[in-house]
Amino acid sequence: MFRDQVIRLGLVLSVIFATALAIVLSVSMTYTLMKLRGVPFTDNSLLISIFAPLFSAPIMLTPLFKAFMKIDSLEHEMRKLAMLDELTGIMNRRAFFSNAEQVIGMANQNNVEMSLAYIDLDNFKSINDTYGHAVGDQVIMEFSRIIRGIIRKSDLVGRVGGEEFALLVHGAGAKDAHQLLERLLAEIRLQQIETPAGKLNFTASAGLVHISSYEQKQIHILLADADKALNHAKRTGKDRVVAFEANLGVSMPA
């Protein structure tokens, strides 16, 4: 599409190329029309056919091309916002699932290890009931800030539920992913939220699934296994990481 070409080239180059094209068309059309009418094509005719579009084309095209680029910027921003969780600024459930499936597929093709974690904030309903939803939102935002500070650019994190998060650790085996999650939980323990009732500490639990390079599993199946491990972590004391053992069909402490 013409608009796509303008965006690809940028404003300045687009105006230059479009003006040059307008000059070529102007000269060609003027020459052809004068020949058909039997009028000689003089130097003055050439200069007029060149300078008319040279001055008029940039004036008319610049606002149009700016509008193209503004529309593209707005569309890009809308697509970005549609993929982000409004409260935390990280990926929402749909975006995480879509991106995770692509990354897992590429990792399988290239024999890259990956691990998937399902993370849940402990006692979150109690926090909302005791301190109010505004404080609950603060806890979620603080958790999001912490996890974004720990993960790498190659990792994916998304908010997949109210207080539930999914983390896809790229190029990490079970041991490395476990260490990362332990560091995450340790960072969370150190944080305090200021509330009208005083300082609030919070914790989180995590279920972990190691995705071997030979496994061709879909994200929702992997997340279901991680959820089973997470439930085991909740039942056995919370504030801990539990890894899912697929061959045993049960979740075991990591």
Catalytic positions are: 163
Beta strands in the chain (DSSP E): 114-121, 156-159, 164-170, 192-195, 198-201, 204-211, 241-245, 250-253
Distance CA 243, CA 180 (A): 13
Measured CA distances, 30 to 16, 21, 55, 111 (Å)? 21, 14, 17, 63
Q: For tokens 């060149």, name the residue.
A: 50
Contacts of 249 (CB under 8 A, 6+ apart): none
Contacts of 184 (CB under 8 A, 6+ apart): 119, 146, 147, 150, 204, 206
Distance CA 170, CA 116 (A): 9
Distance CA 139, CA 191 (A): 10
